[in-house]
Each structure stands twice: as structure tokens, then as C-alpha cells.
């Protein structure tokens, strides 16, 4: 995998050539021009605004990048001005929303310009209360805090610290996914700044091909400045966490697989299964995140989980969405991080093998200070595709699935940079072994969830040949000079897919 990833990165580097007909300026010149045009919205190193932006990244690796300057737009016109200036000067740039991608260079940049969207975080509701207009720089906690007093909700993120823009452009899971599809499927309009600075509204009637491509297509087509999401009446739900010793592993896996098989019978039900090791406590624990998106306690779909003994902690209660997203907030885990992900069939033996493989690669690191080694498993029931199709479809390729799937995330956090190389290698080795096992067992699935993916994973190829071709066509149509392939190096690029 690493060899293939290196090849993709090399090909991507060859694509970073100047747009034809435009002379490349030094990044400092672009920053000077931006400072003249946008004045106090441009920040240089060692200034408070610059430092605030860099501290806004979740993973510490990104905070050590060194953009030449940072633009903090307050409106769409500012974004358009920045894009025009950067393209005219052929200066590289990045786009930062919530800054939650767990590796440097995705939304951060060195020797380039960082566009920080976090000031564009407004949340408004239309007159008939059916659409919430959300700035691309908002985080989900703010969204819910604005909507809850109005007794409204959108299908959004489950971690309060995650940004709106990145989650939607990667597809996005919510507490409403089984019923409503991915978070991106709930979008009815996207305000987008194209590579030439033009501002367009992208929806099912206007640019319908691009609308589908943006729902999971990452940062390949422009800068999204606002998302309009379907809003619906909502007040409270039932949910929380149950924590167990890892002696319950087999029962947990069996209950999860059965839940996934029956998810189509109850579209309100959600489940995430975690296996967690913390080097500080030396404890291996299992916990279930259970969230039922209406205020009904102990619905029957959770009966098998309810029967698992030895519950050490139980936080189940009825409350607002913001309460449950705060419970899952990753803000306290801001450290050195890596995510890696894979998808396979809903199969007990494959699930158990993934746990065993992961634990075997953990063993050499049990004493590493500050290490938290987590496995996350969540259902992808086939019924999600029906909800996505009902909302016009997306570019993710999930609709290829006729079987229920399991989404696996390997999530490591640690403190010492000296452990970076060894832990990255162990993580990728873990994933490679799980992938080989899934192929061997006939349970493999090509889908790679962008928002959980590692830097060197081939995310877009996992969407399928048909969707890759669609994305290439969209890039050629809406960004013919390849600005978002050549000047925006962060993220997963459709031009890199061979």
C-alpha cells in the first residue's frame, strides 16, 4: 500500500504545474496583494490572528505547518477575491474549515496561503422553517445550539468539534443516516466559489451534475461557502454510552452483526462499537454508543445489546442532539493522530479477525506514553442507499452494495513525535493485514470513507470506476485549468486516480 501511495503522491506532485498562460509569483507577493485587497482579514506569522488559526487544527501535526499568510474571509466575496488573486499569481493554497482531518497538509499548508473559513459560521433558517443555511466554517455544536431553541434539526455530525464543510464534502454520517442517507444527502443547495472566482449556487436544478459530485467529492471542484440543509421538527432523542470489559468481545460482535442485519426494520436506531486501549490506565475496554433519534427508551432493536452483562458505565438518557455530540467530542483528544479505514461485509468472523489483527499490532506499543489505540466499528446497512437515491444520489458509490457492510476505523492518538514513524507504520500494517484477510474471506469491499481515511489511502478509487470517470469529467468541465488539482495540494485529488 505504501508503495502505491508513494506513486500516487509522486504523480500528484507532477501535476502541480502552473496554469497555462499565467506567470507564477512568489507566495509573499500573493500575500502582499491579498493584504492590500482584504486588509485586516490577512494575517502574517506571529500575529494573533495567524496563531489563532493555526491553533484551530485538531491534530497537532497540522499546527506545525507554516503558511506564508492566512486569509480569514468574512463573506463569500472575500473568498472569491482570494481565489482570483491566488490563481492569477499561481500561488498554492489550502482551505480550512473545522480543521479536523488528522494529518498535516490536508487543510494546512507550508509556503502557501491558508484560507480559514471559520468566520463564515452563520446559521439561519428560512421563513417556512424547512431549510437551514449554514456557513461552511461552522462546527456542528454551533449548528445544533442555534436550531434547538427553534425545535428544529438537520442531519449533521455526531462530534461537536467537527466542521460542517469537511464532513459534508466527505459524505458524512449522522444520527439520521439510516432514514435520511448521508449528511451530504440532506443538502439542497451549495454556494460554491469556482476556480475563476465566480460564485454559483449548486443544486438539483442548477448544475445538477456538479451537485452530485460535491456530495462526497471533497475539495476537487471549488470552495463551498454555504450549505443549505433540509430542516425538520425535532426536540429530543434517547442515547448515550455503555462501557464494558473486553471479556464481552464475542457478545459485542454478535450483537453488532445482528443489529446491522436488522437495521432496516428500525430507521431510528444507531450503533457504534468501540474497542479502546489507553496506555495511561493499561485498560482494554469496549463501549457502545447507542443513539435512537426519537425520545423512546430501550426500543427492542437493542435487546441483544441490553442483555450483555458487566456494564461498568451507563449514560443512557433522553436529551437534545447537542448533548450527545458533546459526549462524543474529540476536542479533548487534540494530539498527534492518525485515522485509517476499511469496509467489509457484515460478517462475525471478519469483524472478530479485524479485532484480533488490530490487537496483535498494538502489543509492541502497550507502554507508549499517552497512547490511545481505538477501533471503531459502525454499520453501513444497505438501506442507506435507498435514502441516498431518494435525495438525488451522491458520488460515494455506496449504492453498489447489496449487502450490509461494516465500516472500520483505526484511530490512534499519542503525545511524543518520536513515536510518529513507528505508530504510522503499525497502523498501515494493521490495515494491510485486515484488507488481505477480507479479500481471503470474500468479505472485502472497495469503499473508503473519506472522512476516516489516512493520507496515503486511495479514497476516490474506492468510489468505483463509473464515479471516478464522473469526477474527472466534472473537474474538466468546471475547473478546466485544474486549479483545485494543481494549486490546492491538500486532500484526495481526482487527477491522481489512474
| Residue 234: predicted pLDDT | 98
Q: Kindly report, residue by residue over 346-379, the tens digit of the pLDDT.
A: 999 999 999 999 999 999 999 999 999 999 999 9
DSSP 473: H
* pLDDT-above-90 percentage for the chain: 92
For residue 401, what pLDDT band results from cuts at 50, 70 and 90? confident
**Segments in 363-403 forming alpha helices (H):** 383-390
pLDDT (average), residues 296-300: 98
**All domains of the chain in start order, with CATH:** 16-116 (3.30.43.10), 123-233 (3.30.465.10), 237-319+335-447 (3.40.462.20)
Q: What is the dihedral of CA 263, 264, 266, 271, to 10 degrees?
A: 20
* pTM confidence score: 0.94
* pLDDT-above-70 percentage for the chain: 95
| Residue 14: predicted pLDDT | 36
Judge whether 239 and 297 are in contact, CB under 8 Å. no
| Burial zone of 426 (CB within 10 Å; 0-12 exposed, 13-18 middle, 19+ buried) | buried
Q: Which residue has the cell 469526477?
A: 471
Asked if residue 114 has pLDDT above 80, the reply is yes
Q: Which three cell numbers stand for residue 374?
A: 481505538
For residue 331, what pLDDT band results from cuts at 50, 70 and 90? confident
* Centroid of chain to Cα 81: 27
- Please list, in sequence order, all residues whose beta carbon lies within 8 angstroms of the beta carbon of residue 492, skipping any fewer than 6 positions away: 218, 450, 453, 459, 460
Amino acid at each position: 500500500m505504501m508503495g502505491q501511495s508513494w506513486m500516487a503522491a509522486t504523480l500528484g506532485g507532477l501535476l502541480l504545474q502552473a496554469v497555462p498562460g499565467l506567470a507564477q509569483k512568489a507566495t509573499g507577493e500573493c500575500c502582499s496583494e491579498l493584504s492590500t485587497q482584504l486588509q485586516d482579514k490577512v494575517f502574517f506569522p506571529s500575529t494573533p490572528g495567524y496563531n489563532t488559526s493555526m491553533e484551530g487544527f485538531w491534530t497537532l501535526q497540522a499546527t506545525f505547518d507554516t503558511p506564508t499568510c492566512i486569509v480569514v474571509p468574512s463573506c463569500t466575496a472575500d473568498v472569491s477575491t482570494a481565489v482570483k488573486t491566488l490563481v492569477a499569481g499561481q500561488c498554492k493554497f489550502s482551505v480550512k474549515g473545522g480543521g479536523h482531518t488528522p494529518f498535516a497538509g490536508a487543510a494546512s499548508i507550508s509556503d502557501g496561503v491558508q484560507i480559514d473559513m471559520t468566520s463564515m459560521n452563520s446559521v439561519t433558517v428560512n421563513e417556512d422553517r424547512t431549510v437551514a443555511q449554514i456557513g461552511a466554517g461552522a462546527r456542528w455544536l454551533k449548528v445544533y445550539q442555534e436550531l434547538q431553541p427553534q425545535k428544529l434539526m438537520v442531519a449533521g455530525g455526531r462530534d461537536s468539534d467537527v466542521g460542517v464543510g469537511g464532513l459534508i464534502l466527505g459524505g458524512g454520517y449522522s444520527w439520521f443516516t439510516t432514514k435520511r442517507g448521508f449528511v451530504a444527502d440532506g443538502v439542497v443547495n451549495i454556494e460554491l466559489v469556482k476556480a475563476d472566482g465566480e460564485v454559483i449556487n449548486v443544486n438539483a436544478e442548477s448544475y445538477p451534475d456538479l451537485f452530485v459530485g460535491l456530495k462526497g467529492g471533497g475539495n476537487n471542484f471549488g470552495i463551498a461557502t454555504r450549505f443549505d440543509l433540509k430542516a425538520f421538527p425535532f426536540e429530543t432523542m434517547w442515547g448515550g454510552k455503555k462501557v464494558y470489559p473486553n471479556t464481552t468481545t464475542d457478545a459485542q460482535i454478535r450483537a453488532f452483526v445482528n443489529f446491522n442485519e436488522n437495521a432496516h426494520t428500525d430507521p431510528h436506531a444507531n450503533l457504534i462499537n468501540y474497542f479502546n486501549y489507553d496506555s495511561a490506565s493499561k485498560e482494554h475496554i469496549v463501549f457502545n454508543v447507542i443513539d435512537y433519534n426519537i425520545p423512546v427508551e430501550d426500543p427492542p432493536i437493542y435487546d441483544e445489546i441490553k442483555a450483555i452483562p458487566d456494564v461498568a458505565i451507563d449514560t443512557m438518557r433522553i436529551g437534545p442532539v447537542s448533548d450527545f455530540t458533546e459526549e462524543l467530542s474529540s476536542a479533548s483528544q487534540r494530539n498527534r493522530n492518525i485515522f485509517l479505514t476499511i469496509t467489509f461485509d457484515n460478517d462475525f468472523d471478519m469483524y472478530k479477525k479485524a479485532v484480533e489483527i488490530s490487537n496483535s499490532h498494538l502489543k509492541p506499543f502497550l507502554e507508549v506514553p499517552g497512547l490511545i489505540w481505538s477501533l471503531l466499528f459502525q454499520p453501513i446497512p444497505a438501506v442507506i442507499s435507498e435514502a441516498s437515491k431518494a435525495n438525488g444520489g451522491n458520488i460515494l458509490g455506496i449504492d453498489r452494495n447489496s449487502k450490509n457492510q461494516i465500516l472500520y476505523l483505526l484511530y490512534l492518538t499519542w503525545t511524543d513525535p518520536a513515536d510518529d514513524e513507528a505508530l504510522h507504520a503499525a497502523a498501515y500494517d494493521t490495515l494491510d493485514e485486515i484488507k488481505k484477510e477480507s479479500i481471503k474471506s470474500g468479505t472485502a469491499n472497495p469503499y473508503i470513507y473519506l472522512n476516516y481515511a489516512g493520507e496515503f489511502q486511495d479514497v476516490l478509487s474506492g468510489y468505483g470506476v463509473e464515479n471516478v470517470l464522473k469526477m474527472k469529467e466534472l473537474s474538466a468541465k468546471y475547473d478546466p485549468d485544474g486549479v483545485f488539482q494543481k494549486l490546492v495540494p491538500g486532500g484526495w485529488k481526482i487527477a491522481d486516480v489512474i
